[in-house]
Amino acid sequence: MRHIIIFGPPGAGKGTFAEMLNKEFGWEHINMGAIIRKEIDEKTKIGNYAKKIIDAGELLGDNVINEIVKKRILEHTGNGIIYDGFPRTVAQAKMIDQLLNARKQNLDFLINLDCSQQVTVQRITERARDKNDNKEGAVHRFKVYERETKPVLNYFENKEKVITLNGDGSINDVYAKIKELL
């Protein structure tokens, strides 16, 4: 079974590329943003908690995210999973490693979409999915990514699992590079 993480700052195109891989290869797309938005829309206990954290521009705690991902991995019966928006902390990266190892599986690689702050802010403000998709919110989210999420790269680089691509290009150009890796 394939396990591929699409990684990068907010607005890098993680969801877009994960969905394209899902359509082309049939691999499950674990989209943490969509899962959390659904929980919020359905006003579940997790959703209500998540809304407070997200409205403050911060990341959800590892325990909540890890439980959601564990459940999806354990229920999965297909031939691959693409992770989008996960892991966002080193603790989450360690959890997925441990869970996959326990199942005698491994992460194939992490595709790091290296994007400038200028490009990600522009993309986020153009898509404007929610009230935080303005310039101030986008800059804050980029800073949170730099501070809290980027250390995940070091974790996987030490395991020689990271492939970095320039994510500032067009969707078609970046997707062609991703497919070359597969």
Tell me how far apart the terminal alpha carbons of the chain are, to the nearest angstrom: 13
pLDDT attached to residue 169: 92
Q: How far does Cα 46 stand from its chain's mean position?
A: 19
The angle subtended at Cα 62 by Cα 58 and Cα 84, nearest 5°, is 75
pLDDT attached to residue 10: 92
Please give the single-letter amino acid code of residue 175. Answer: Y
Instruction: Give one word for 8, left, alpha or beta, with left for phi > 0 and alpha for psi -120 to 50.
Output: left
Domains of the chain: 2-181 (3.40.50.300)
- How does pLDDT run along the chain (182 residues), one tens digit per residue? 999 999 999 999 999 999 999 999 999 999 988 898 898 999 998 899 989 988 887 778 898 898 889 888 888 888 999 999 899 999 999 999 999 999 999 999 999 999 999 999 999 999 887 777 899 999 999 999 999 899 999 999 999 999 999 999 999 999 999 999 98
H-helix segments, the chain: 14-25, 32-41, 45-55, 62-75, 90-102, 117-127, 135-144, 151-157, 171-181
Please give the single-letter amino acid code of residue 146. Answer: E
The continuous run of DSSP H or E covering 130 comes out as none
> Is residue 88 within 8 Å of 140, Cβ to Cβ?
no
Q: Would you state the structure tokens that stand for residue 108, as one six-digit string?
A: 């194939």
pLDDT attached to residue 59: 76
Please give the single-letter amino acid code of residue 23. Answer: K
pLDDT attached to residue 145: 93
